[in-house]
Amino acid sequence: MKRVRTAKGRKVSSTRWLERQLNDPYVKRAKAENYRSRAAYKLIELDERFGLLKGVKSVVDLGIAPGGWSQVVRRKAPQASVVGIDLLPTDPLDGVAILQMDFMAEDAPAKLNEALGGPADLVLSDMAANTVGHQQTDHLRTMALVEAGLEFAQEVLRPGGAYVAKVLAGGADNQLVAELKRSFTSVKHAKPPASRKDSSEWYVIAQGFKGEGG
Number of neighbours of residue 185 by Cβ within 10 angstroms: 11
67 a known binding residue? yes
Q: Which of 130, 149, 127 is closest to 138 using CA atoms?
A: 130
**Measured between alpha carbons, how far is 134 from 127 in angstroms, rounded to an integer?**
18
CB 204 within 8 A of CB 171: yes
Q: Known catalytic residue: 166?
A: yes
| Residue of 54, 61, 60 lying closest to 77 (CA atoms) | 54
Given the residues 11, 31, 166, 191, the one annotated as active site: 166
**69 annotated as a binding-site residue:** yes
Q: What span, in angstroms and rounded, lies between the C-alpha atoms of 49 and 3?
A: 35
Rounded-to-integer distance, Cα 43 and Cα 193, Å = 10
Q: Is 86 annotated as a binding residue?
A: yes
Annotated binding site: 67, 69, 86, 102, 126
Annotated binding site for S-adenosyl-L-methionine: 67, 69, 86, 102, 126
Catalytic residues, by residue number, are 166
